[in-house]
């Protein structure tokens, strides 16, 4: 079959970013941690032994481009779907064709699935048998964390490769290649950029090659040539071609900023927490990343010192999902401030850690706590001696709830912080 990713190279109606997709590893740049010489993914591709995998990373970092290289290098038959538009019926048709292709010609089918985080459970379930028996191999592409966005069953059958944001140097190389390429780019035209113009496009693109090339294309096509047929792109033209000033975040900076945000929340600094959150979002981070971290911190660092913190965090996540960006920034900021100024307690974290550490111990359920909703439980001693708390003053009665092996163990130790102070006072008086 024709190369899935092939285009008429001279057809300028095809966007420049598509025309300039790498055709081989020699034209691919960035992601050396996964496709550098000797790395697992590259070895698998070159040996035509690639198994089902997920390409995970930000937009414009090379996920689809690497998939195109796979299509060029490997001997399998390739099919392509977009999870947004594809239905279960299309999946089944591809599987049926793949089964026939395998039985008649012994040829493997690889399914390239864009935006696989939008893949429904029904779609995933339809594909699983074909993945298990080897009829189909999957290459999924997603900007969303697959460990959160994909079903566990689908994820367990794939190897995840995380792509990192490209550096400004990588994006600059891509742009210059497009300007020099005579077949797919503007090598046959006399196009030049003012240094500050090129720098602006690369900076605003924030590691997204597609965005940079789209801006270059718009600038070239809308700038008339001079009397000598030369096209010179000024800073003004570059600014008009890529309107939004994005604040780039490279690989290391992303995680450093996320750490700074988390520590600002924990450290009760609302100003710093709001700044780091907005800095990340303006730099291209998914607002849901911020919301997820707040949900964690609402329990990890605030806990029962301010029970409303968890409700604020989950409400912010709900706002992100329902109204989206940029309006969701208001709800995010509200929740960030609330969590940051809330009294802090790590008692929930300590209770969880302690309980998990003992969870694997061999224990027995005390007889009086055992299920007694069946005839004959008395003969087994099950449920005998259980004291119903609501029958006692204050709806509380002292009795053993932990197994014999853990009597006296205390996982939850309330602090005197915020609302948790009342819990501590009740405990100090002998009951919660």
- State how far the Cα of 312 lies from the Cα of 306, in Å rounded to an integer: 11
Query: Which two structure tokens, joined as six digits, stand for 256?
Result: 């450093």
CA atoms within 13 A on the CB side of 429: 8
| DSSP string for 209-228 | HHHHHHHHHHHHHHS---TT
Which residue do the tokens 């079959």 mark?
1
Confidence band, pLDDT 50/70/90 cuts, at residue 3: very low
Q: State yes or no: pLDDT of 360 exceeds 70.
A: yes
Cα–Cα distance, 418 to 42 (Å, whole number): 54
- Confidence label for 431 from pLDDT (cuts 50, 70 and 90): low
- Residue 275 above 90 pLDDT? yes
In angstroms, rounded to a whole number, what is the distance separating the alpha carbons of residues 304 and 55?
39
Q: Residue 335: its pLDDT value, please?
A: 96
Dmax (CA) for the chain in angstroms is 104
Output the average pLDDT for the chain: 88
pLDDT recorded at residue 2: 42
Stretch 372-396: mean pLDDT = 89
Provide the residue count of the chain: 432
Query: Residue 8 pLDDT more than 60?
Result: no
Find residue 190's DSSP bridge partners: none
Q: What domains does the chain contain, in order, with CATH numbers?
A: 30-162 (3.40.50.300), 168-241 (1.10.8.60), 251-341 (1.20.272.10), 362-428 (1.10.3710.10)
Q: Per residue in 64-101, pLDDT tens?
A: 889 888 888 888 888 888 888 888 888 889 999 999 99
Q: What's residue 12's pLDDT?
A: 55
8 A C-beta contact, residue 158 and residue 55: no
Mean predicted confidence (pLDDT) in 214-232: 93
What is the pTM for the complete model shown?
Answer: 0.55
Which residues, at least 6 apart from 27, have a Cβ–Cβ distance to it below 8 Å? 177
**Which pair of tokens denotes residue 269?**
């600094």
Q: Tell me, what's the pLDDT at 244? A: 61
Taking the C-alpha atoms of residue 77 and residue 106, their distance in angstroms, rounded to an integer, is 11
pLDDT of 51 over the 60 cut? yes
Residues 382, 384, 389: CA angle, nearest 5 degrees: 115
Query: What percentage of residues in the chain have a pLDDT greater than 90?
Result: 50
Query: Of 278, 209, 213, 191, which Cα lies nearest the Cα of 61?
Result: 209
Helix (H) or strand (E) holding 420: helix 420-428
Place 106 in a pLDDT band, splitting at 50, 70 and 90: confident
In this structure, are residues 364 and 403 in contact, taking their beta carbons and an 8 Å threshold?
yes
Strand locations in 86-142 (E): 109-114, 136-142
Distance CA 118, CA 188 (A): 41
Q: What is the pLDDT of residues 163-221, one digit of tens each?
A: 988 889 999 999 999 999 999 999 999 999 999 999 999 988 878 899 999 999 999 99
pLDDT at 266 over 90: yes
């Amino acid at each position: 079959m024709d190369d899935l990713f092939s285009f008429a190279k001279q057809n300028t109606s095809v966007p420049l970013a598509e025309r300039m997709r790498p055709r081989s590893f020699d034209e691919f740049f960035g992601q050396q941690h996964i496709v550098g010489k000797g790395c697992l993914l590259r070895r698998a591709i070159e040996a035509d032994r690639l198994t089902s995998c997920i390409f995970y990373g930000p937009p414009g970092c090379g996920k689809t481009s690497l998939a195109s290289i796979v299509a060029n290098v490997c001997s399998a038959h390739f099919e392509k779907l977009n999870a947004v538009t594809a239905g279960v019926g299309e999946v089944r048709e591809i599987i049926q064709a793949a089964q026939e292709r395998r039985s008649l010609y012994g040829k493997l089918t690889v399914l390239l699935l864009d935006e696989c985080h939008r893949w429904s459970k029904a779609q995933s379930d339809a594909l699983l048998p074909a993945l298990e028996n080897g009829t189909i191999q999957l290459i999924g592409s997603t900007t969303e964390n697959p460990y959160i966005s994909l079903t566990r069953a689908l994820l367990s059958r794939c190897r995840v490769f995380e792509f990192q944001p490209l550096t400004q140097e990588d994006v600059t190389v891509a742009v210059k290649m497009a300007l020099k390429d005579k077949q797919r780019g503007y090598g046959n035209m006399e196009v030049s950029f003012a240094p500050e113009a090129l720098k602006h496009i690369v900076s605003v693109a924030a590691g997204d090659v597609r965005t940079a090339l789209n801006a270059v294309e718009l600038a070239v096509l809308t700038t008339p040539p001079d009397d000598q047929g030369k096209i010179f792109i000024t800073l003004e033209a570059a600014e008009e071609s890529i309107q939004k000033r994005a604040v780039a975040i490279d690989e290391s900076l992303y995680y450093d900023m996320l750490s700074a945000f988390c520590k600002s929340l924990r450290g009760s600094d609302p100003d710093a927490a709001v700044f780091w959150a907005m800095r990340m979002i303006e730099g291209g981070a998914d607002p849901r990343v911020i919301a997820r971290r707040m949900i964690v911190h609402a329990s990890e660092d605030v806990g029962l010192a301010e029970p409303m913190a968890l409700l604020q965090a989950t409400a912010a996540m709900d706002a992100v999902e329902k109204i989206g960006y940029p309006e969701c920034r208001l709800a995010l900021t509200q929740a960030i401030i609330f969590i940051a100024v809330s009294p802090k307690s790590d008692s929930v974290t300590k209770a969880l850690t302690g309980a998990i550490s003992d969870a694997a111990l061999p224990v027995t359920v005390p007889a009086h706590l055992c299920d007694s909703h069946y005839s004959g439980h008395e003969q087994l001693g099950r449920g005998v001696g259980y004291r119903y708390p609501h029958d006692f003053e204050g709806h509380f009665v002292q009795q053993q709830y932990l197994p014999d092996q853990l009597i006296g163990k205390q996982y939850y130790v309330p602090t005197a912080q915020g609302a948790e102070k009342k819990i501590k006072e009740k405990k100090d008086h002998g009951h919660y």
